[in-house]
Amino acid sequence: MSAAEIEVRETVRRMRERSSSPGLEMRPGSAYEAVTRQMVEGLGEDLREIRGRLNGLLWMVAGAIVLDVVMRLAGLVGVGP
């Protein structure tokens, strides 16, 4: 390898090391930050639960519609009252 190749490889290696180190401090600096982070994480969990329930409800409605269409096509259910 030439000196230029070695220098380029060394420069790339240093750049990769710098980019892999975290740039932000993730530990809370005060009690307020810790409480706020806890509240935000709690809200995230609540949103995931709501999203799951909503997905379940939508699948149930879609299933009921598909079932109704299939039953009507099979002639098992009358169309009118």
Written as tens digits, the pLDDT of the chain (81 aa) is: 788 888 888 888 887 777 655 556 677 788 888 899 999 999 999 999 999 999 999 999 999 999 999 999 988 776 555
Domain contains 81: no
**Domain enclosing residue 60, as ranges:** 30-76
Contact 77, 68 (CB under 8 A): yes
Contact 40, 32 (CB under 8 A): no
Domain contains 24: no
Number of domains in the chain: 1
Give me the pLDDT at residue 20, please: 57
Domain contains 61: yes
Domain contains 14: no
Give me the pLDDT at residue 62, please: 97
Domain contains 55: yes
Give me the pLDDT at residue 70, please: 92
Domain contains 17: no
**Structure tokens, 7:** 């220098």
Which residue, chain included where needed, has tokens 């380029």? 8
pTM: 0.52
